[in-house]
Every structure is written in structure tokens, then in C-alpha cells.
Amino acid sequence: MSGHSKWSSIKHKKAKEDNKRGKVFTKLIKELTMAAREGGGDPDSNSRLRNAIQSAKSANMPSDNIDRAIKKGTGELPGVSYEEITYEGYGPHGVAIIVEIVTDNKNRATAEIRHVFDKYHGNLGALGSVNWMFDSKGIITLPESEGKDEDKLMEIILEAGAEDMTKEDDLIVISTDSHNLYNVKNALDESNIKYDSVELTKIPQTIVKLNEKQAESVLKLMHSLDDLDDVQNTYSNFDIPDDIMEKILNK
């Protein structure tokens, strides 16, 4: 979980600031549109759309915005023609990176991604060059306060098909096989247990441990990628010790 939890925790904190600038809404609207275009506008039969709607509601997106984005995806409303592209490569110090984008201009997006990799001494690779190092998993995060009765919570999620439950900072992180994500989510709903996020993600099979100087250079690359308008998701296999992470965040 380390590679996921470190970068994921950083992204969750960063998302709160991005949300103030409307950047989170932009990414969520793209995901809603693509999910509806790919699997239709009914969330009951479209798990990707169901997840996108949940994420949008968690970010307090108005229902009208959600509905419009879905209708643009299904063609009920006119919209921009988006394309999904995945980039893979290495950052400094041998860190593997996957970048998922949704764009209306592939040439522009490719140039921007390549520029960031070059600027921070990384390099893009061919499709499949690093994806094999990651497993697709479902991740649900809960406020720590929801885990007061850990034994009961563990019983609920294991019966629903969860694989593991850990604590990361002030969050409880539940991991599942990608196919069981919504079984676990539904079990939490039925038990009136509140959660912060539900997502399909990529977990590294092995991690690259970084010292302070290495961590700073890798985080500059990751933040720069995450700030690009077309970037939807970023994944990496780095791990940063807690004391170093705290030192960097407090600078």
C-alpha cells in the first residue's frame, strides 16, 4: 500500500486546494462525460459512471452539473469530443509513473506531458513499459472516526469481499479486488458507515524508497503532471518515510 498511500494522501490534501480553484470539478466533469459515453447514462449498469457520480457528490458538485456532464456523454446534449490516453514512463531515481489523461487535443497533451518529464529528468516509455508493475485495485477511504469499532468494521468489509484495512494518517484505507469495490461500498452504505472516497486505482507491486533530496525531485514531477488540465490520474511506485514526508510538507 505504501506507494499508493503516500502519493494518494498527498493528492487528497492537494485536491482540497484545487477544489477552491474549480480544478477538481473540471476533472470530474470529464470523467462523468467519458464514463457515460463509454457505458451509457444509467449508473446502475455502469460502474464507472456510478463511481464518477459518487466522486462528484463527495466534492459537492451540484446535481445540475452532474446531469449535464452525463447528457453530454450520452449525446443528449452537445459537448466536446474527448479522447482517453495513458502515458507510461520513469521519473528520476527509477520511479515508475503512469499518467491517465482525457483531452480534446492529443498533440497538445502529449507535448505537455513530455515537457514535464524532460524538465524533471524523467523519460516517457512505450505503452506497457511500466503498467505491468501495478495491480488494479479498489480503494475506499474513511475518516478515522468511522473505525471506532474496528472489529465490527473489519467483519463488515471482509464479508463483502475486501482484502485489507490499514490506517494512513487520519484515514482508514480499505483495499479490495477491483471487481469487489462496489460490494464493499454497498456494505458500508447498508451499515450507515460514512466514507470519503471510492476509487479504482493502481497499486505498485514493488516500491522505490526515496531519501529527502530524491523525494523532493520526484514530488515536483508528480505535482507538475497532476496540475496539467488534461491529466485525470497519476500513479507511481515511490515510498517516502513519514519523517521525511513531514519535513517536506512543512517547508
Domain 83-132+205-249 has CATH 3.90.1170.50: no
Hunting for cell 511506485 — which residue is that?
237
Residue type at 150 in one-letter notation: E
Closest C-alpha among 251, 154, 247, 232 to residue 193: 154
d(CA 118, CA 27): 24
d(CA 221, CA 122): 8
Domain 135-204, CATH among 3.30.70.980, 3.30.70.3270, 3.30.1370.100, 1.10.1740.10:
3.30.70.980
Asked whether the CA dihedral 31, 18, 223, 246 is positive or negative, the reply is: negative
DSSP H helical ranges for the chain: 2-20, 23-39, 47-58, 63-74, 106-119, 150-159, 181-190, 212-227, 242-249
All CATH 3.30.70.980 domain ranges in the chain, comma separated: 83-132+205-249, 135-204
pLDDT of residue 245: 82
Closest C-alpha among 183, 219, 181 to residue 197: 181
All CATH 1.10.10.200 domain ranges in the chain, comma separated: 19-74
Count helices and strands in the chain by DSSP H and E runs: 9, 10
**Mean pLDDT, 10 residues at a time, over the chain (251 residues)?**
56 59 82 94 90 85 94 91 95 96 95 97 94 92 82 94 86 89 90 86 91 94 93 92 82 72
Residue type at 74 in one-letter notation: T
Structural fold of domain 19-74: Arc Repressor Mutant, subunit A (1.10.10)
pLDDT of residue 167: 84
